[in-house]
Copies of this chain bind each other. A is one copy, B any other.
Amino acid sequence: MAGSSYGKLFQITTWGESHGKALGVVIDGCPAGLPLCEADIQVFLDRRKPGKTKISTPRKEADEVEILSGVFEGKTTGTPISLIVHNTSQRSADYSEIANYYRPGHADYTFDAKYGFRDYRGGGRSSARETIGRVAAGAIASKILETLGIKLTAYTRSIGPIAIDDTKFDFQALAETPTCMPDYEASKKAEAYLEDCMKNYDSAGGVIECKIEGCPAGIGEPVFDKLDANLSKAIMSIGAVKAVEIGDGTQVASRRGSENNDAFTIKDGNVTKVTNHAGGILGGISDGSTILLRAHVKPTPSIFSPQQTVNKQGENIEVSIKGRHDPVVVPRAVVVVEAMTAITILDSLLVNMSSRMENLSKVYKNK
């Protein structure tokens, strides 16, 4: 397996290149009986679409999803759901030049090193368009999680040096700002920062955060398939991510135990925690409090200022990337982080169903 599948029971397999005929995903293991239509998925895909504002690429990508299988009379059948998005706006001419050299910060060189050659059009398989399949599958996972009372919220924490103010967290801002920041003021500043980047033919990075509320305690496997381990893989598998944090993340390393431990307490008859430095996961298993993760995203490698690199003939050359590129990928990657998180949480919930003898009785004796 060349690693285009993810998930143990809710398994997704993505396929497609940036400038091929289409991109898509096959979801195997979606429980039967979920009401599902294309609009449920399209709303997620629209969140990753470019071309909405001046801070994203002017490329128009229709990215309309079509359900090819696995849904009958408006409900999932339990068999594979095949989703397809046709490529429509790709201009291959933009990319023909890069066939012969290796763009810094891109996977051109490593694909050649691995496979001997590559589909160079728009990055081919290494293009961020691959995430279309992830987002489409994530829409379905999210819909199932909702039925169990589990709610995900992903948003931009920072772009370049501009971060949100947690005390001003505003869901409407999250829905409306082009940055996906839940803070109008920070978003304005970030937009100004991005305009400055663009003016300088440069690009920016940032931080995405995702909260999972309502996840029951007891989800995740205690050793290699820890919930945080699986989340880390899911998030780090997104193109430009270079670091993943759970809960207080990097901050824990310089703390003392007395500062970092979360005291347990009884609240309304339930076990709960006074603080949540752990980010909702203890020993790889959810503890019932809010799960929190953060992804650190590098600046878009495609910049218009001249760069040193090499060509396939082994010569040092200087290049200036052309084409239509986002000055920052963070806002469009927010829904990708949310999707990968949803898929991971759902898969863990499904795997966990068989963890206790009493769950077997619930399913097989009630039938």
Contact = CB atoms under 8 A, between A and B. Distances in A.
Contacts of A29: 1-2, 354
Contacts of A224: 3-6, 233-234, 237
Given A31-B356, A148-B360, A243-B252, 11 more contacts: A4-B80, A22-B69, A32-B117, A72-B118, A104-B264, A202-B257, A223-B237, A242-B249, A261-B303, A269-B314, A353-B360
Contacts of A28: 1-5, 13, 15
Interface residues of A, number: 170
B237 A242 contact: no
5 contacts: A2-B80, A78-B115, A158-B254, A232-B236, A266-B315
A263 B114 CA distance: 20
Contact of A104 (B22, B34, B78, B262): B262
A36 to B, nearest CB: 11
A253 interface: yes
B126 A283 contact: yes
A296 interface: yes
A124 B75 CA distance: 14
Interface in A239-253: 239, 242-250, 252-253
A197 to B, nearest CB: 6
B79 A109 contact: no
A303 B231 CA distance: 28
Given A115-B356, A221-B3, A264-B104, A255 B299 contact: yes
A114 B242 contact: no
Of A28, A297, A363, chain B has the most CB atoms within 10 Å of the CB of: A363
A123 to B, nearest CB: 8
A23 B223 CA distance: 14
Contacts of A126: 222, 283
B236 A300 contact: no
A166 interface: no
A113 B260 contact: no
B242 A236 contact: no
